[in-house]
């Protein structure tokens, strides 16, 4: 009896590369599979703003030619990759989810896209995001609402919601994302995939995000190993970003370690006054138990992040105000109304108040540096809430109107620049994904990846697929 071949969408990028090298599959077949899944599923999810079938297949055919000539280009040759619509990419317009941007093709690549191109990636399309990446759900005046593949009535999170949904749907095994307050980790958690924010300065960013010192590009993938693969590409040196810091030669090669002896601070709520959904709390506690069984020294304690939400908002929303300051009233009428509201409010913030917020950011960096003298990693929920209804900035009956109130476990690490990863750790009773977050000291990216990899190896959830894909018969 012949063994059944796994569908391409169930395989990791690492596995697909092996099959490409063995001529068991072609890059064109992978590209066609990705495009077919977009055609079958994306009218329901709306993960992609734009695809270019001809361009995608042209790049896939070029990859196949290289494989036939034994002249492959690097780590991603022939692998389909989705690109968040915040990264410049030659031949594609960068719209940032806004009607105020121009619909004209970029003539240069953002550094991370350029690195992927050097490694032979096959771009499948541009993924949706909220306007200028300003909130943690994905809807915009330009592209409308993006939905969660696990439940179409729920949000995939944001701002990289289109990228996370694309990976969850099995369109691509890898996607480019950017994170200014959780924009990679929140949607990865809500969509049941892996999202990693590296130490700030590890991946070049030009432009990639509008939120400066809070932002860092990162990978979204179905497995930690695939995230490390894309990270090896994304962190290549680029002269366009003078802040770029050297990292290890290979994050993938560093995944062979384990968590034995690691000191892990298990913090169910980071010491903050926030209600964590009971199903989320139980799932993350299970992660703590698993890590202890693997030999880690797990201590329940809080890192005393502090009540810094207004501090973060000053840093984040003042940048939003700066982004729209050049637009007149008629142009501002085209903006997401809530973005216009926060931007106009924070436009009046004094330079003194902004500098006070930046001082508080540096003080938090110092506190966390000393905390990590005693603990290698922090474990906490990625998000305290379940994925909630689409078309909303906050969950139903939530006491606050801004997204920062329900995402207090992600944006502190954008203030400190620490590496943080979300990895799937369970599902709610009605089948919605839950993510656990590992945070490390600055420059401990490999250690963070190792811990997430160790957990994923003993508790893999990658075989479970969203009901949408089964209903579609693909």
Note if 334 is an active site residue: no
Note if 183 is an active site residue: yes
- CB neighbour burial string for 449-470, b if at least 16 within 10 angstroms, e if fewer: bbbbbbbbeeeebbeebbebbe
Report residue 344 CA to chain centroid gap: 28
Catalytic residue among 12, 84, 140, 209: 84
The interaxial angle of helices 309-324 and 337-346, nearest 10 deg, is: 100
Catalytic residue among 12, 140, 183, 189: 183
Q: Using the structure block, give the residue that is written with the tokens 């079958």.
A: 40
Spatial separation of the C-alpha atoms in residues 28 and 228, rounded to whole Å: 24
Q: Could you tell me which residues come within 8 angstroms of residue 202 by beta carbon, excluding any fewer than 6 positions away?
A: 216, 235, 244, 245, 247, 419, 445
Q: Taking Cα atoms as reference points, which of 221, 214, 154 lies closest to residue 182?
A: 214
Spatial separation of the C-alpha atoms in residues 383 and 435, rounded to whole Å: 7
Residue 142 has which token pair?
């330009």
Round to the nearest angstrom and report the end-to-end CA distance of the chain: 23
CA atoms within 13 A on the CB side of 334: 13
Catalytic residue among 140, 159, 215, 444: 159
Note if 209 is an active site residue: no
DSSP per-residue string spanning 368-388: HHHHTTT-SEEEEES-SS---
- Whether 114 contacts 238, CB under 8 Å: yes
Q: Could you tell me which residues come within 8 angstroms of residue 404 by beta carbon, excluding any fewer than 6 positions away?
A: 181, 309, 312, 313, 316, 411
Spatial separation of the C-alpha atoms in residues 135 and 402, rounded to whole Å: 8
DSSP element (H, E) containing 177: strand 174-179
> CA angle at residue 318 from 104 to 402, to 5 degrees?
95
Spatial separation of the C-alpha atoms in residues 121 and 441, rounded to whole Å: 31
Q: Using the structure block, give the residue that is written with the tokens 């990895």.
A: 423
- Whether 412 contacts 389, CB under 8 Å: no
> CA angle at residue 455 from 453 to 457, to 5 degrees?
70
Strands 420-427 and 433-440: antiparallel
Catalytic residues: 84, 159, 183
């Amino acid at each position: 009896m012949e063994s059944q071949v796994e569908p391409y969408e169930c395989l990791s990028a690492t596995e697909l590369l092996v099959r490409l090298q063995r001529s068991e599959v072609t890059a064109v077949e992978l590209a066609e599979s990705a495009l077919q899944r977009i055609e079958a599923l994306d009218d329901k999810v709306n993960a992609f703003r734009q695809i270019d079938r001809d361009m995608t297949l042209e790049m896939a055919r070029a990859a196949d030619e290289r494989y036939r000539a034994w002249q492959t280009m690097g780590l991603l040759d022939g692998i389909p990759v989705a690109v968040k619509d915040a990264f410049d990419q030659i031949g594609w317009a960068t719209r940032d989810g806004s009607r105020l941007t121009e619909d004209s093709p970029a003539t240069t690549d953002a550094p991370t896209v350029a690195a992927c191109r050097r490694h032979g990636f096959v771009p499948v399309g541009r993924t949706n995001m909220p306007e200028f990446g300003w909130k943690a759900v994905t809807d915009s005046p330009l592209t409308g609402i993006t939905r969660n593949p696990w439940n179409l009535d729920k949000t995939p999170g944001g701002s990289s919601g289109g990228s996370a949904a694309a990976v969850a749907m099995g369109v691509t095994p890898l996607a480019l994302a950017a994170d200014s307050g959780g924009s990679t980790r929140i949607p990865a958690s809500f969509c049941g995939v892996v999202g990693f924010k590296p130490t700030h300065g590890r991946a070049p960013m030009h432009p990639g995000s509008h939120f400066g010192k809070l932002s860092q590009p990162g990978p979204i993938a179905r497995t930690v190993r695939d995230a490390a693969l894309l990270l090896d590409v994304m962190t290549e040196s680029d002269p366009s970003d003078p802040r770029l810091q050297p990292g290890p030669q290979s994050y993938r090669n560093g995944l062979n370690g384990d968590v034995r002896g690691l000191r892990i601070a298990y913090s169910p709520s980071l010491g903050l006054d926030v209600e964590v959904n009971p199903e989320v709390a139980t799932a993350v506690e299970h992660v703590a138990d698993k890590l202890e069984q693997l030999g880690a020294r797990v201590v329940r304690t809080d890192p005393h992040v502090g009540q810094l939400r207004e501090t973060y908002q000053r840093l984040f929303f003042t940048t939003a105000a700066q982004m729209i300051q050049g637009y007149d009233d008629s142009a501002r009428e085209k903006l997401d109304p809530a973005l216009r509201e926060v931007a106009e409010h924070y436009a009046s913030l004094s330079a003194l108040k902004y500098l006070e917020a930046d001082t508080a950011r540096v003080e938090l960096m110092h506190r966390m540096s000393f905390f990590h003298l005693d603990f290698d990693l922090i474990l906490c929920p990625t998000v305290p809430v379940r994925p909630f209804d689409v078309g909303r900035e906050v969950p139903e009956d939530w006491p606050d109107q801004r997204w920062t109130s329900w995402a207090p476990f992600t944006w502190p690490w954008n203030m400190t620049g620490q590496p943080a990863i979300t990895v799937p750790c369970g599902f709610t009773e009605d089948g919605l994904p839950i993510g656990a977050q590992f945070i490390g000291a600055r420059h401990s990216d490999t250690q963070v990846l190792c811990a997430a990899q160790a957990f994923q190896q003993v508790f893999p959830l990658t075989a479970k697929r969203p009901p949408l894909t089964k209903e579609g018969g693909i």
